[in-house]
Amino acid sequence: MADVHEFTPLPNLQRMSAKRTYAMFASQSLDGLPEHEQVTKMRTNIRIRNEYQDYTTLPAVLLAQQAPVGPARPKTLAITAGPGAAGPSTDGALTLVPTPPGASSLNGISNTNNLAVGSLATSTNFAKALALHKQTKAVKPAYHAPWKLVRVISGHLGWVRSIAVEPGNKWFATGAGDRVIKIWDLASGELRLSLTGHISTVRGLGVSGRHPYLFSAAEDKMVKCWDLESNKVIRHYHGHLSGVYSLSLHPTLDVLVTAGRDATARVWDMRTKAQAMLLAGHTATVADVKCQDSDPQVITGSMDTTIRLWDLTAGKTMIQLTHHKKSVRALAIHPREYSFASGSAGGNNIKKWKCPEGTFVHNFSGHNAIINTLAVNEDGVLFSGGDNGTLSLWDYGTGVPFQNMEDIPQPGSLEAEAGVFCSTFDLTGTRLITGGADKTIKVYAEQTH
C-alpha cells in the first residue's frame, strides 16, 4: 500500500509565510519617513485619472440633451423707470422733458426779478414738486389688441385652482377641488386624460421641460410626480406639515420648489425625492412661489404681507419686501424682462419690482379687488384676476390698464361664484387660460383684425 502524505493546509502556510516576512522586514519599516508633497500629488492624480477618466464628461448624445445649468445673468430688457434709474422721475409712467434754454425751473419766472419768490419757492418741498410736475409728461402705453372670450371648457366638479401648460404647447393640465387632475387639448379643448390620486384640492401643477414628468401639489400635504408615459405616480415628496398651495419648477436645475400653509418653501431634488433645502422665515401661509434661472432664483409671496427673494445657494433670504399692506397671493415673472409683479388685496394692490435687488418700480392702480392670480406674456400684457370675478389687462411697462372685463358665471353656478383663482398664458402668449369658482376653464384670445 502506498504511503499517504498529508499536506499542510494552504491557510496555515500563508500565515507562516506572513510571520516570517514580518519578522524579516519589520525593522526596515518605511512608515515613519516623510513623503515628498509632489509624490503624494502625483499619486492622487494618477489614481483619479485611472478611476474617473471615463466619467468626467458625458457621452455626446447625453450632452446634447442637457440644458445649461446654473444661474446666469439674463440677457433681458432693461428697466429705465423706478427708483435707482437715471433721473428724478417718481413714477414708471413719467419721463423728463428737457427744459428750454434760458427758462428757469419755475416755468420761465426770472430769478433776478423775483428773488423773494425764487428763494421762497426753492425752500419749500411744494415748489420743488411743482417744478418737477411741470417738467414731466405722461408716457403713452404701448398698444395692445383687445382680448375676448373664445371658449368655455366644463368638466371639473370643483373650483379650478391650478393650471399648467406643457412646454410643447399642445396640451395643458388643470387641478381642482374635485381632487382630479385633467389634461386638455389646447387647440380643441377636448379632455384627453383624468388623473386621480390626491385626496384634497389640487393647488399647484408644473410640467417639466426636460423630463416626461408632471408635478402636482395639493391640500392633502402631498407633492406627487407623475410619469406621463405610464400616467402613474412614480414619486412622492414627503415633508410639508400642512396643505401645499403652490409649486414651481426651476428652469435649469432638476429641483422643484413647493410652498404652503406651514409658512415654508421647500426645495426638492427631483430624482432622489430628498428635501434639498428648507426656506423658512415667513410667519404665515406662503401663497405663491416662483423660480427663475438667475438671482433671485426663488421668490415667495406670503399671507404675512411680505415678499422674500431667496439665495438658493445659501438657503437664506436675500431681501424682504414689505410694501404690501395685505396678504400677497400672486406672483408673475416676466419671460424676458428682469422683473416681476406681485398682487394682494387692498389699494395699490399690484406692484412691479426690478430684479435682482427687488427695487420697487411702480403700482398698477385700479383693480380694487383681492387679486388671486397674475400672468404676464412676452408682449408686455399683464393679466390680473380678482376674487369678485373682475379681470384686468395692463400694459406691463407703464402700469396703465387697457381692458377691464367681468367673469360671467356659467349656467348652474351661483352668482357669487365668479372668482378667478388661476391663470396662465400659453407659450405663444396669444391665449390666456383661466380657472374659476364656476368650475369652468375659460380661454381668452387676442382680437386680431
Kindly report, residue by residue over 303-354, the tens digit of the pLDDT. 999 999 999 988 999 999 999 999 999 999 999 999 999 999 877 899 999 9
Task: Place 184 in a pLDDT band, splitting at 50, 70 and 90.
Answer: very high
Residue 128 has pLDDT above 80, yes or no: no
What are the residues facing 444 on neighbouring strands? Answer: 149, 432
pLDDT in tens, 282-309: 999 999 999 998 889 999 999 999 999 9
Local confidence band at 79 (pLDDT 50, 70, 90 cut-offs): low
Least confident piece of the model among 235-244, 298-307, 414-423, 437-446: 414-423
Lowest mean pLDDT among 35-39, 44-48, 240-244, 358-362: 35-39
- Given a cut of 80, is residue 421 above it in pLDDT? yes
Domain extents for the chain?
A: 75-100+118-139, 147-446
What's the whole-number average pLDDT of the chain? 83
Neighbours of 230 (CB within 10 A): 9
- Beta strands across the sheet bearing 316-321: 286-291, 298-302, 307-311, 316-321
- How many CB atoms are located within 10 Å of the residue 102 CB? 7
The H or E element spanning position 16 is helix 10-25
State the pLDDT at residue 174: 97
Residue 281's contacts (CB-CB under 8 Å, 6 or more residues apart) are 308, 317, 320
Confidence (pTM): 0.71
The pLDDT, as a whole number, for residue 57 is 72
Higher pLDDT, 16 or 122: 16
Band (271; pLDDT cuts 50, 70, 90): confident
Average pLDDT over residues 434-446: 93
Judged against a pLDDT cut of 50, whether residue 127 lies above it is answered with yes
Q: Which three cell numbers stand for residue 259?
A: 410652498
pLDDT band at 122 (very low <50, low <70, confident <90, very high): very low
* Owner of C-alpha cell 525593522: 27
- The pLDDT assigned to 134 comes to 58
CATH C-level class of 147-446: mainly beta
Report d(CA 11, CA 401) in Å as an integer.
90
pLDDT > 70 fraction of the chain, expressed in percent and rounded: 78
189 backbone dihedrals φ, ψ, rounded to 5°: 80, 10
The reported pLDDT for the residue numbered 38 is 84
* Omega cis (within 30) before 356: yes
351 or 411: which carries more pLDDT confidence?
Answer: 351
Confidence check: pLDDT of 411 > 60:
yes
pLDDT band at 35, cuts 50/70/90?
low
User: Does the pLDDT of residue 406 top 50, yes or no?
Assistant: yes
Q: Which residues contact 438 (CB under 8 A, 6 or more apart)?
A: 407, 409, 410, 413, 417, 418
Nearest by Cα to 443 from 423, 418, 421, 414: 423
Q: Which residue has the higher pLDDT, 77 or 161?
A: 161
Q: Which has the higher per-residue pLDDT, 101 or 274?
A: 274
Confidence (pLDDT) at 61: 72
Distance, in Å, from the CA atom of 208 to the CA atom of 343, rounded to the nearest integer, reads 26
